[in-house]
Structure 1
Amino acid sequence: MIRQFLPKVNWYQLALMYFKDRSAAECEARWKKTLHPTRTRVGKFSLEEEKRLKLAMTLFGAQNWHKIARFVPGRTKTQCREIWANFLDPNVNHGKWTKEEDAKLREAMSEHEFLALPDISLEPEPEIVAVKKKRKA
């Protein structure tokens, strides 16, 4: 594989030298997923890209996103997985919820007392916030 002959990037050193508020992982992800010259496509998938993604899913299955992304030039494995899961997967109902589905969900929630479960906070855990603040200082 050609990758083994390419120089390795020391993302930790790069982050330390150039960014006081960015981690090595953040720099690497930003480069690989957005800024790398082969990642030219952002935004909505074209019809051709959707066709290629559907064909790749047939060929490789949903477990090999790296191969799938290579089949859709300019797109990352994350982009391919997201568009598949959120818009193209035929096994998922992507339409609006019906009144019947809403009623069924309400019934299931009350019948099985799922409402008694603790709410899951969307806020980051306090210790994560503290670490980020400390790193910025």
Structure 2
Amino acid sequence: SHSIHSLRDTTAVYNKWSPEEDEILRNAVARVTKNNTTDVAGKWVRIAQLVPHRTPIQCSARWSGALNKDITRGKWTTDEDNLLIAAVEHEVTVLETPCADINWQKIAMAVPGRTGVQCAARYQEALDPGIRKGKWLDEEDVLLKEGLMKYGKSWVKIAAGIPNRTQRQCRTRWLQIFPKMKEEDKIRMEALCGSPIAVNEKVKKKKTRR
């Protein structure tokens, strides 16, 4: 039988990390890494055991996304872009790895300070030569609206239905065309997936506060 205390310890919470939790995570990472540097797969399981109410995935994401000082965050430099492009080209052309099977953790080893997640996002959203840039076609706008009606704001699914357009491009295009729609169409689309204008205003306010 489990005590109430032990049940609490195994119940994950999904709210914002506190400064105290960050400190506990830093200490846990230092302790586990110091004792064992070979078992990478089980590392985050052991770390999470030292951080009450947090899962291995939460601990890994928090460490990579905010606390690890070895990870570079923010805008990519031209040198980083070039390293990333070269690493992907080598993987695809020399090693003949299909794009869908690229190991982004491996790619990240060629770009110091960046994670696999960062490399995947940067390449797929900005550097992939297959990305279509420039003016949107009427047919693409139709696919965008159909995607929104079918999937709401699941940009991954929407972008998958519009050849060579990225999630970011789809979001940006929706912000551009929504104000130009007829009032009845706006009401219908808002009922299905909310107003993009409201979301955009929140983003602007956050930037202004900074």
Give the TM-score, by structure 2 length: 0.43
1:83 lines up with 2:114 in the alignment: no
Q: 1:97 is aligned with what amino acid?
A: K
More helix by share: 2
What residue is the counterpart of 2:151 in the other structure?
120
1: CA distance, partners of 2:143 / 2:126: 26
Task: Calculate the aligned-residue CA RMSD, in Å.
Answer: 3.3
Unaligned runs of 5+ in 1: 124-137
Distance 1:44 1:106, change over 3 A: closer
Quickly say closer, same or farther: Cα 1:56–1:34, change in 2 above 3 A.
farther
Residue equivalent to 2:49: 13
**2:107 counterpart of 1:71:** no
Change (3 A) 1:33 1:70: farther
The letter of the residue matching 1:13 is Q
Paired amino acid for 1:53: L
Following superposition, the deviation at residue 60 of structure 1 comes to 1.7
Which residue number in structure 1 is paired with residue 59 of structure 2?
A: 27
Alpha carbons of structure 1 residues 104 and 15: separation in structure 2 relative to 1, 3 Å: same
Match of 2:135 among 79, 97, 100: 97
Paired residue total:
109
Partner of 1:4: 38
Give aligned-pair identity as a percent.
Answer: 28
Given residue 68 of structure 2, which amino acid in structure 1 is its aligned partner? Answer: H
1:118 shift after superposition: 6.4
TM-score, normalised via structure 1 length: 0.62
Give the C-alpha shift of residue 27 in structure 1.
Answer: 1.4
Runs of 4+ off more than 3 Å:
5-9, 105-110
Which of structures 1 and 2 has the larger relative contact order (alpha carbons within 8 angstroms, sep 6+)?
Answer: 1
Q: Tell me the distance in 1 between the aligned counterparts of 2:121 and 2:153.
A: 20
Give the secondary structure class of the aligned counterpart of 1:4.
Answer: coil
